[in-house]
Amino acid sequence: MINAIFAVDYYGGMGFQGTLPWPHNAEDLAYFQKLTTGHVVVMGSRSWADPKMPKPLNGRTVYVASKKPVKFAGQINGDIVEKVLALEQQHPDQIIWVVGGPQLIEACSDLFDQIHLTHFKGSYKIDTKIDLKSLLTGFTPVRALVSNDRKSTFIKYEPIFKRITPSS
């Protein structure tokens, strides 16, 4: 299974100056940790370089899409779709979580069995965004939970047409 998990503001904003644009949100981080712990996490090199990204990311096998070796994580490069599919085969009992940045998520969008998206209320100063309309085309929301502080909503999306996998 290959899933995505990430957060955006109202306009699809994901980052500002190498980190998240909204203030620290313990509930969103706990949600991320709950879903990804015990599984495989794939991210781009800029996401890994975020000073707020814990290194190592305990309880997860981490792969970073990078041309340079990375500390505390495996390295993948080349055809990212091919590499993520290979990780799915290498880790058949784990979920492969693609967490960002936007280019990595968009490149893998046809692979996702689920998208777990935190929508933050409002807009923030950003320099990194994702085209949500394009990304979510072909997906439908199947569950929504409002955060305790009512500043975000956790939505689970599934594709209208299921992906055909080697084990299907």
Q: What are the backbone dihedrals phi and psi of residue 102, each rounded to the nearest 5 degrees, phi first?
A: -60, -35
Is residue 148 within 8 Å of 27, Cβ to Cβ?
A: yes
Binned at pLDDT 50, 70 and 90, residue 164 comes out as confident
Please tell me the distance from the alpha carbon of residue 8 to that of residue 6, in angstroms, as a whole number: 7
Among 93, 63, 89, smallest CA distance to 76 is for: 63
pLDDT, average across residues 50-78: 92
- pTM of the shown model: 0.94
Instruction: Look at residue 95 in the predicted model and tell me its pLDDT.
Output: 98
Instruction: Look at residue 167 in the predicted model and tell me its pLDDT.
Output: 61
The CATH homologous superfamily of the domain defined by 2-159 = Dihydrofolate Reductase, subunit A (3.40.430.10)
92-123 per-position pLDDT tens digit: 999 999 999 999 999 999 999 999 999 999 99
Q: Report percent pLDDT > 70 for the chain.
A: 98
For the chain, domain boundaries: 2-159
Is residue 138 within 8 Å of 26, Cβ to Cβ?
A: no
129-137 contact pairs (CB < 8 A, 24+): 129/8, 129/11, 129/12, 129/13, 129/14, 129/102, 130/6, 130/8, 130/12, 130/14, 130/102, 130/105, 130/106, 131/12, 131/102, 131/106, 132/8, 132/12, 134/106, 135/105, 135/106, 135/109
Please tell me the distance from the alpha carbon of residue 159 to that of residue 165, in angstroms, as a whole number: 14
Instruction: Look at residue 163 in the predicted model and tell me its pLDDT.
Output: 87
Instruction: Look at residue 117 in the predicted model and tell me its pLDDT.
Output: 98
25-62 per-position pLDDT tens digit: 999 999 999 999 999 999 999 999 998 898 999 999 99
Is residue 107 within 8 Å of 13, Cβ to Cβ?
A: no
Q: What are the backbone dihedrals phi and psi of residue 65, each rounded to the nearest 5 degrees, phi first?
A: -75, 105
Please tell me the distance from the alpha carbon of residue 128 to that of residue 92, in angstroms, as a whole number: 32
